Amino acid sequence: MLSYNFKYELKLLLRSRWIQLLSIILLLLFGFAALNGTKKVEKRNMDIVAAKDEVKEDDGMMLKLLDSVERGLEVSASPWTIPTSPMAVGNYHPRVAAMEPQPMAFIATGQADLFTHYVKPKVSGDDFALNFTEMTSPVQLLFGSFDLAFVIIYLLPLLIIAFSYNVLSSEKESGSLRLLAAQPIGIQNWVLQKLGLRFFWLSVLVAVVLIVVFLALGINPFAQSVTFFGLLGLTLAYMLFWFALAFLVNLWVGSSAKNAVALLGLWVVFVLLVPSVLNQLGNTLYPMPSRTLMINEMRGLKAEVTKKADEILDNYLRDHPEYAINDTTQTRGFYHRYMASQKLIKEELAPVVNAYEEQLQKQQNWIGRFKWISPAIIVQESLNHMAGTSTKDYESYRKQVAAFAHTWREHFMPFLYNNREFSQKDYPDLPSFNYEKGTQLQLGTIPLLFLIAVGLFGLGFLISKSVKGQGILNQG
Binding site for another protein (CB under 8 A): 32, 36, 39, 43, 47, 51, 78, 116-120, 131, 133-140, 143-146, 150, 154-155, 158, 162, 165-166, 170, 256-257, 260-261, 264
In the bound state with another protein, the residue whose beta carbon lies nearer, of 248 and 263, is: 263
118 or 316: CB nearest another protein: 118
Phi, psi of 469, deg, nearest 5? -55, -35
Which amino acid is residue 300, in one-letter code? G
CB nearer to another protein: give 131 or 276. Answer: 131
Minimum separation from the CB atom of position 40 to another protein (A):
8
Min CB(116)–another protein separation in Å: 5
Minimum separation from the CB atom of position 173 to another protein (A): 8
**Nearest distance from residue 406's CB to another protein, in Å?**
21
Which residue, 259 or 390, has its beta carbon nearer to another protein?
Answer: 259
Nearer to another protein, 144 or 287 (CB): 144
Dihedral angle sign, alpha carbons of residues 219, 223, 227, 230: positive
Q: CB-side exposure of 58: number of CA atoms within 13 Å?
A: 17
Pick from 126, 120, 127: nearest CA to 98: 120
Backbone angles phi, psi at 178, to 5 degrees: -65, -35
Q: b/e per residue, 302-340, with b = 16+ CB within 10 A?
A: eeebeeebeebbeebbeeeeebeeebeeeebeebbbbbb
Contact assessment for residue 210 and residue 31, using Cβ atoms and an 8 Å cutoff: no
List of residues 6+ apart from 237 with CB closer than 8 A:
446, 447, 449, 450, 453
CB 324 within 8 A of CB 317: yes
**How is 387-398 classified by DSSP, letter by letter?**
HT-SHHHHHHHH
Q: Which is nearer to another protein, 170 or 279 (CB)?
A: 170
Nearest to another protein of 185, 260 (CB atom) = 260
Cα separation of 476 and 474, whole Å? 7
To the nearest whole angstrom, how small is the minimum distance from the Cβ of residue 364 to another protein?
Answer: 24
Question: Shortest Cβ distance from residue 279 to another protein (Å)?
Answer: 18
Give the single-character DSSP code of 286: S
Q: How far is the CB of 458 from another protein (least distance, A)?
A: 28
Kindly tell me which of 29 and 87 has the beta carbon lying closer to another protein. Answer: 29
Minimum Å distance from CB 424 to another protein? 26
CA distance 57 to 296: 38
Closer CB to another protein, 137 or 474, in the complex: 137
Q: What is the dihedral of CA 249, 254, 257, 259, to 10 degrees?
A: 0
CB of 336 closer than 8 Å to CB of 313? yes
Q: How far is the CB of 36 from another protein (least distance, A)?
A: 4
SS3 state of residue 133? strand
The radius of gyration of the chain's CA atoms, rounded to the nearest angstrom, is: 31
**CB-side exposure of 313: number of CA atoms within 13 Å?**
18
- Least distance to another protein from the beta carbon of 379, Å? 17
Helix (H), strand (E) at residue 303: helix 291-307
CB closer to another protein, 101 vs 230: 101
